[in-house]
Structure 1
């Protein structure tokens, strides 16, 4: 049964199903258009379908909203969503806006928006959940919350004042870094920068690692040097090195000087290698231990929450010192092999004798061939003295092999996409020729 009122923040991430019960995607936003005397009208949803493509689902194709799920008629146009003039995305653009409450003569910020079914198949903005500006000291540090109708508020805009992104960030709190990166890239340019400005350094670092380099540079150019250096400190050394390599030599050097010395040293080390070599692709933060380390100790290191899965797939064994460049490289021990032996077994006895490391100057193509040939997720990298200097993981190789625009979910937006009838799992022979959207059928 369809609900008559739904708060948009709760819709974010809800699954979208076709009439047969097959999952089509998940909701990422709600699109509305303003009207002169009536509340904004809902025209559709932004839905993320497999492949992380965001498409438009007209509200006329939604048959049910409620119980944490959306039911559609089964037909979705797979062309990438492009916002049109006059359209406003509730989560991306409306949450965080300041308004003036008419009857209370005070200011407030929109924290959530309820949409209501005004007529069969027609939805509009109903209540607004707002937080009033704090006028008196409060032990909780926040103003009171109120519900208001659209007619009870006036949007407040002040020249030069940025719209708060706090509520938008709260809505995206459960997003994985890659999903948050995609969501930010879909925002208007200024809004994306506002969100980046309010994200914690570690969260922004994770998100930047999932963005194309041009967008990384655009965001970093908007940050002052001190904060940019803090963000780089939280990034993986190889990703930080790639990003600094895209900047001007002067800015890059200035940021390196502001970074933590140990982090900057790793980045400088990686920048010394050509980008299309094993040294240019590697990370300098693998797990490195001595031959006397036990299986129990090795498994404890792998369990660390902050460790990337690819780096936890194997442990490197070397002679001291144990920071790259290490002592002589002895070999790698795969975590699956550790699981087959008792906790007190020494890792030096479990080395993979068939795996040969690659030299730091080896071409990236050779690294890719080795990973594919031996079904590996990482390969050790050594220098001319057989000292371990890092490892290349499968994600870095894929990043190298894929096209430069692989992070984009729409490589050819000029090519019309064929609507997919998900209810029958068939693809119509004719592509959609609709050029306009109508409230009834939701075509774009």
Structure 2
């Protein structure tokens, strides 16, 4: 949905054509997938069930939808053609929610769900089901009169949401939904192996990827090993490339190669490139997905890229100006522009006019102490990694430096996050 677009009723998406960025049709929408929550909170819209021209039905995450307009859905062009399988925590909007009998909270009247509306949350990549179109009445009188119709907020009806009780993975997910990935990772770490596998299997790919990045290595390997191989490859693709490469490097060679063969070729190539470096070097620490701009890009272009909600704060802190190609490894690296500098200059200014006169960078073979010293010397939150030819290979972020400098079991430590602990320390 384009920014500022009005809400869309799901009935308008039935059988809508799905196109790639080049305008080629890849399939049609057959259903929408959402996740219900405890209480009256609106469900998250996870993605679309798309039927390809081959009749295979696949899952298209909302993170790969760039627009819903004029009776069509536009995607990023990246599709996973693995056959769609509904998970325990998921509900199909057409198949499970429409024509359902629910009650109005205020009057306790029974109503029938005719339609639902969806809307993208402001400045975020998440979508929610926000309103319900219902018809009042039941029985013979209802069939004769057709009943009064009205549109209400999701919170104004009851009969959809998950029950608060129960110990299944579904209830656990609803309870932990608001936890940050690091906090949910801590919860998973302390669950039994069986329950940990159940919860991991029920999480969507992006959420599981975020959580895996925060787990100790043994837990990562255990969870990944219990997923279907196709899904394990999807989750690895959703992880930050450096974290995914670290995890792959710990797997047996045959399992690693099988997972790489199931990944998108570009993602697999990034993984192989990162695994070629020693773990505690700049090359082994870096991510291959920084913000890269060509010299003729403007400040407005740079700020638009920095605003992406998919970026971590460290990656959004600066842009890297390079000659084509503008995907790592790039053409000649020209320099870095911090977002604070972008905010001080007119939108039409070329980023090439704002780069440092003496750009500092790391060699991919720089050892961890050298990398840490570089960050301390130049007060960096992210640092470019450049090879002998002058090409930008990737970027090391400060969180990855800290991850590798702390004790191996630091993720298992308990931290005092109370006001007293945060203010006064130990």
Residue aligning to 2:330: 326
Aligned counterparts, 1:406-417, within 5 A: 406-410=410-414
Match of 1:316 among 317, 320, 343: 320
Equivalent of residue 378 in structure 2, options 366, 369, 374: 374
Question: Structure 2 vs 1, CA of residues 227 and 345 (structure 1 numbering), >3 Å: closer, same or farther?
Answer: same
Separation in structure 2 between the aligned mates of residue 200 and residue 405 of structure 1, nearest angstrom:
27
The 2-side partners of 1:307 and 1:243 are apart by 21
In the TM superposition, what is the alpha-carbon distance from 1:177 to its structure 2 partner? 0.8
- The match for 1:343 is 347
TM-score by length of 1: 0.57
Cα deviation for residue 186 of structure 1 reads 1.9
1:316 is paired with a residue whose SS is strand
Which stretches in structure 2 are left out of the alignment for 5+ residues?
1-37, 40-88, 90-156
| TM-score (structure 2 length as normaliser) | 0.59
Partner of 2:302 in structure 1? 298
Contact 2:362 2:383 in 1 (8 A): yes
CA 211–144 in structure 1, closer or farther in 2 if over 3 Å, else same: closer
Q: Which has the higher contact order (CA 8 A, sep 6+)?
A: 1
Which residue among 218, 222, 226 is the counterpart of 2:222? 218
Secondary structure of residue in 1 paired with 2:411: coil
CA distance in 2, matches of 1:324, 1:367: 20
- 2:282 counterpart residue number: 278
By how many angstroms is 1:352 displaced?
Answer: 2.1
Counterpart-to-counterpart distance in 1, 2:349 and 2:273: 34
The higher radius of gyration belongs to: 1
Match of 2:360 in 1: 356
Higher helix fraction: Structure 1 or Structure 2?
Answer: 2
> Is 1:287 aligned to 2:288, yes or no?
no
1:299-343 superposed Cα distances (whole Å, 9 cap, x missing partner) = 010000111110000100001111111101100000001111111
Report the 3-state secondary structure (helix = DSSP H, G, I; strand = E; otherwise coil) of the residue aligned with 1:332.
Answer: strand
Which 4+ stretches in 1 moved above 3 angstroms?
A: 142-148
Matched, 1:394 2:398: yes
Q: Across the two proteins, how many residue pairs are aligned to each other?
A: 268
Q: CA deviation at 1:410?
A: 4.3
User: Structure 1 residues 290 and 143 mapped into 2: Cα distance closer, same or farther (>3 Å)?
Assistant: closer
Aligned counterpart, 2:95 = none
Residues 1:426 and 1:263: Cα distance change in structure 2 (over 3 Å): closer
Q: What SS does the corresponding residue of 1:315 show, helix, strand or coil?
A: strand
Q: Is the 8 A contact 1:204 1:231 kept in 2?
A: yes
1:183 is matched with 187
Corresponding position of 1:254: 258
Deviation at 1:224, TM superposition (A): 2.0
Question: SS state of the match for residue 407, structure 1?
Answer: helix
2:242 is matched with which residue?
Answer: 238
Contact conserved, 2:162 with 2:171, CA < 8 A, in 1?
A: no
In structure 2, the CA distance between the partners of 1:253 and 1:403, relative to structure 1 (3 Å rule), is: same
Q: Which moved more, 1:337-346 or 1:184-193?
A: 184-193
CA distance in structure 2 between the aligned counterparts of 1:195 and 1:147, rounded to whole angstroms:
17
Q: Which runs of 5 or more residues in structure 1 are unaligned? A: 1-8, 11-95, 97-139, 149-154, 156-162, 412-416, 428-444
CA distance in 1, matches of 2:380, 2:208: 30
CA contact (8 A) 2:361 2:384 kept: yes
Tell whether the 8 Å contact from 1:334 to 1:352 is kept in structure 2 after alignment.
Answer: no
Distance 1:345 1:426, change over 3 A: closer
Q: Deviations over 1:24-74 (max 9, x none)?
A: xxxxxxxxxxxxxxxxxxxxxxxxxxxxxxxxxxxxxxxxxxxxxxxxxxx
Identify if the C-alpha distance between structure 1 residues 143 and 304 changes in structure 2 by more than 3 Å, giving closer, same or farther: closer
- Distance change >3 Å, CA 319–CA 190, structure 1 → 2: same
**1:353 CA drift (Å):** 2.7
